[in-house]
Structure 1
Amino acid sequence: MDAIEVIRAKRDGAELSPEQIDWVIAAYTRGEVAEEQMSALAMAIYLRGMNRAEVSRWTLAMLASGDRLDFSDLDRPTTDKHSTGGVGDKITLPLTPTVAACGAAVPQLSGRGLGHTGGTLDKLESIPGWRAELSPQEMRGVLDTTGGVICAAGPGLAPADRRLYALRDVTGTVESIPLIAASIMSKKLAEGTGSLVLDVKVGSGAFMKDAASARELARTMVDIGNDNGVRTVALLTEMGTPLGRAVGNALEVAEAVEVLSGGGPADVVELTVELAREMLAAAGLTPGENGVKDPAEALRDGSALASWEALVRAQGGDPAAPLPVAAERRVVLAPASGTLTRLDAYQVGLAAWRLGAGRARKEDAVSFGAGVTLHAKPGEGVAAGEPLFTLHADEPERFDRAAQALEGAFDIGADVAFEERPLVIDRVA
């Protein structure tokens, strides 16, 4: 077997055999398949696609390239959530401790932000002392102690995906749904969770801009999970508008703590509770039975907040320490009075990125205090001359370009009948 044979097969529209897939992934991981050959195969997959059997086998082959964690001997069932990424999407922060407080274990491997989408690890690293890099033994220890852990994937988990992801980024093949699905699911299967809930974002601030593409990605990932013994469901959720009122690392941590304290924006609370209930159901836990709490109750009674504080401390952080604050602020005023009818997630994310909250390259540093505070959400009234956004940055020269990104990001209408879009669009199981 050789790389050219595999490339030609997919180029010509053939179904790759399990043996071809296993060989090419293993050989690429060992360095025996050249980068240009894997680039050609990735483009062939982008153009020709893959069927369910191929995607499932491709995922397993990437999984087999490294280690697989095992938490099956824990005294509670394991469940996890993966979001495809958005703007203001801090849901992992309140969700993980809430689900842990309700009786499940949550081994959450998260990533860093790139471009206009924020990364969970960047947000958490704004907490003084908090550590993202944990060994498998440390990860297990935090899970045993607190019921939840949020950390970076170690180098031993799905190393084939790490190489292929970087290659796709520079070859125009990032958008391939089979390759996206296999990339996400190989890492999620490697972390050893027993069940998984996928939050597939739809809209301008999401990777998938339309519901049809998001549904196809969700269906593909759900099939991979279920084919490999991990009970998997997906929710399609709205990302045309930012989640919550804070976009930026420390700003989002503060908002997540508000939610865990029984307050916070309604949309963040709603999605946290919806996803938590799905995670408990996927893990076979029913609120009200055997001491299992409902997530809304855990947010109300303080148990979710206590779980959060324990999780932060277990990873070296101080939950009581002040969060970083940007050195400079600028307020953007509403140009007219009326109802805010649109607030574009992508453009708000772009503004936060220009303020320093995100990175253009993986090796870039982020400003923990940078970001955007939203003073109104669609459906709410605004008054001319009143604050619409507050921009936070360490360098004042960043403000002008960030403000430019927001110029076309919103609409204000007078006497407009506003129709709110549902936060949860669909469920795929």
Structure 2
Amino acid sequence: MAAPVTPGSPAPIPVAPGDLSRGGPRGPPDLPAEPKQLPELIRLKRDGGRLSEGDIRGFVSAVVDGSAQGAQIGAMLMAIRLRGMDLEETVALTQAMAKSGQQLEWPKAWHQQLVDKHSTGGVGDKVSLVLAPALAACGCKVPMISGRGLGHTGGTLDKLESIPGFTVIQSPEQMQGLLEQVGCCIVGQSKKLVPADGILYEARDVTATVDSLPLITASILSKKVVENLSALVMDVKFGEAAVFPSQAEARELARALVGVGAGLGLRVAAALTAMDNPLGRSVGHTLEVEEALLCMDGEGPPDLRDLVTKLGGALLWLSGQAETQAEGAARVAATLDHGSARGCFERMLAMQGVDPGLARELCSGTPAQRHQLLPRAQRQEELLAPEDGTVEQVRALPLARVLHELGAGRSRAGESLQPGVGAELLVSVGQRLRRGTPWLRVHLDAPALSGPQRCALQGALVLSDRAPFTAPSPFVELILPPTDTQQ
């Protein structure tokens, strides 16, 4: 049996299921076993057993064809969350999910240009909105299949849908047209593309199984396997507001993604990035779109720009389109400073359903003009610093939880969101504050913040007596495929 894919120990390099190099000669193949019924599969995994490739295919098929009841799906997800999956099971689950729908096929001439990035989910994480068009402006083809919010973390699709008219469901033919004319698209799972993950993704969000390492790995990589990529960079977040709080657990997920990717023939690198503070200074769907556009103006928060350029630089190098990661990062930065990334973003919006006039106004307008074009919350409240001090941290988790409660997140699958709800950080980590200085502006549709909500938000501001300082980059480490070395 392959080593377990569970937090606490490095994931070994995977061997594809059935590889004869591991066990020497084998006897005649067994006759195919009768397919197990779902209750039997759930019981097997619940009791710590190992699911065969056929078992996993059967479960995924039942999810897609509707024969699996919601309670059975939730029970299996919880069994996997509690008992884990070994590497071969995870590879099999990823393959079964990837094969649950149509496979994407592109012109052979595109192969080296086909790249993508995916994040495990963070607070204020709008990197995909900037990086996809930036990579397109560098000559890449980026068929990004993204997800919605999970738990307290925001979803790329939800942010984009806050732009009136934006359509996340695109057929494979429409995706190819977008790649030909723009160089990038950001889409969701349709009934044709990885339908199994679309169902399981929603179920994980409401069954407390978001943080299962094999489910995260299979969910992410199944969407990437169907894209037929040259290279993929994973942004694996750690910290209080991440799926995995500890850096060690995040590194284990990163190694699993790199290892399972290798087992599937996909070239994957994984960046470890910190998620104790929100990324950037805006949290909430429309506010994050505005901040992404500010980054594409060559401005905006330095931590957002740093992460966009470093992830993009790693991708250009990994796919052989740059000699070094530093050269790739410089090319990505140039697309932000010269406006070419913003131009690609405008064309992507127009081709994905946004009125061309609105897309043009959004991408060429001032920040104040953009704010008027997007859905807004009914009112704003500012919170004041309770005492003098240096901003040591703005805790992302309590901030995200309050915004979720105010309507920025979902409590059940399919629930609608309030796109204008969000918060603006009026301070930066390392900045010195005076008592009574506004540090947070909350955008809300509720009549007012409740006492507990206000208390929770004030608790997110951590002050210290130290001298002002420059906040470190959220980018910590890049884990590369086994045959590569850091450059």
Q: State the AA in 1 paired with 2:267.
A: R
Q: How does 1:384-395 map to 2 (within 5 A)?
A: 384-395=435-446
1:49 equivalent to 2:100? Answer: no
Distance 1:164 1:34 in 2: 12
Q: State the AA in 1 paired with 2:381.
A: R
Measure how far apart 1:342 and its partner are.
Answer: 1.7
1:47-102 C-alpha deviation (Å, 9 max, x unpaired): 43322222111211122222111224464611111111111101111111111111
Measure how far apart 1:6 and its partner are.
Answer: 4.5
Residue of structure 1 in register with 2:142 after alignment = 106
Question: Which of 340, 348, 356 does residue 303 from structure 1 map onto?
Answer: 340
Asked if the contact 2:84–2:214 (Cα under 8 Å) also holds between the matched residues in 1, the reply is yes
Distance 2:78 2:290 in 1: 42
Q: State the AA in 2 paired with 1:54.
A: E
Distance 1:405 1:63 in 2: 41
Measure how far apart 1:347 and its partner are.
Answer: 1.2
Asked if the contact 1:197–1:232 (Cα under 8 Å) also holds between the matched residues in 2, the reply is yes
Q: State the AA in 2 paired with 1:56.
A: V
Distance 1:261 1:421 in 2: 23
Distance 2:434 2:169 in 1: 46
Distance 2:200 2:410 in 1: 21
Question: Which of 329, 334, 338 does residue 385 from structure 2 map onto?
Answer: 334
1:405 equivalent to 2:405? Answer: no
Question: Which of 60, 78, 82 does residue 95 from structure 2 map onto?
Answer: 60
Distance 1:117 1:158 in 2: 22
Asked if the contact 1:202–1:210 (Cα under 8 Å) also holds between the matched residues in 2, the reply is yes
Distance 2:256 2:61 in 1: 23
Measure how far apart 1:287 and its partner are.
Answer: 6.3
Residue of structure 2 in register with 1:179 after alignment = 215
Residue of structure 1 in register with 2:399 after alignment = 348
Q: Cα RMSD (Å) of the superposition?
A: 2.6
Asked if the contact 2:210–2:243 (Cα under 8 Å) also holds between the matched residues in 1, the reply is no
Residue of structure 1 in register with 2:177 after alignment = 141
Q: How does 1:358-373 map to 2 (within 5 A)?
A: 358-373=409-424
1:124 equivalent to 2:175? Answer: no
Unaligned segments of structure 1, at least 5 residues: none
1:348-368 C-alpha deviation (Å, 9 max, x unpaired): 112322333223223222222
Residue of structure 2 in register with 1:279 after alignment = 315
Asked if the contact 2:377–2:421 (Cα under 8 Å) also holds between the matched residues in 1, the reply is yes
Distance 2:150 2:452 in 1: 18
Question: Which shows bigger deviation, 342-351 or 160-169?
Answer: 160-169
1:426 equivalent to 2:477? Answer: yes
SS for the counterpart of 1:294 is: helix
1:126-161 C-alpha deviation (Å, 9 max, x unpaired): 223322222222222111110010122211222233
Distance 1:365 1:39 in 2: 22
Residue of structure 2 in register with 1:26 after alignment = 61
SS for the counterpart of 2:215 is: helix
Question: Which shows bigger deviation, 143-152 or 415-424?
Answer: 415-424
Distance 2:132 2:234 in 1: 14
* CA separation of 1:52 and 1:422: change in aligned 2, threshold 3 A: same
Q: Tell which has more relative contact order, 1 or 2 (C-alpha 8 A, sep 6+).
A: 1
Distance 1:233 1:141 in 2: 28
Q: State the AA in 2 paired with 1:68.
A: Q
SS for the counterpart of 1:408 is: helix
Asked if the contact 1:88–1:244 (Cα under 8 Å) also holds between the matched residues in 2, the reply is yes
SS for the counterpart of 1:199 is: strand
Give the fraction of aligned pairs with identical amino acids, expressed as a percent. Answer: 41
Q: How does 1:223-302 map to 2 (within 5 A)?
A: 223-286=259-322, 294-302=331-339
Aligned length: 428
Distance 2:338 2:221 in 1: 34
Q: State the AA in 2 paired with 1:359.
A: R
Q: State the AA in 1 paired with 2:346.
A: E
Distance 2:352 2:203 in 1: 32
Distance 2:408 2:75 in 1: 35
Measure how far apart 1:27 and its partner are.
Answer: 4.5
Distance 2:333 2:323 in 1: 10
Distance 1:180 1:236 in 2: 15
Q: State the AA in 2 paired with 1:215.
A: R
* CA separation of 1:172 and 1:93: change in aligned 2, threshold 3 A: closer
1:17 equivalent to 2:52? Answer: yes
Measure how far apart 1:7 and its partner are.
Answer: 4.9
Unaligned segments of structure 2, at least 5 residues: 1-33, 363-372, 481-487
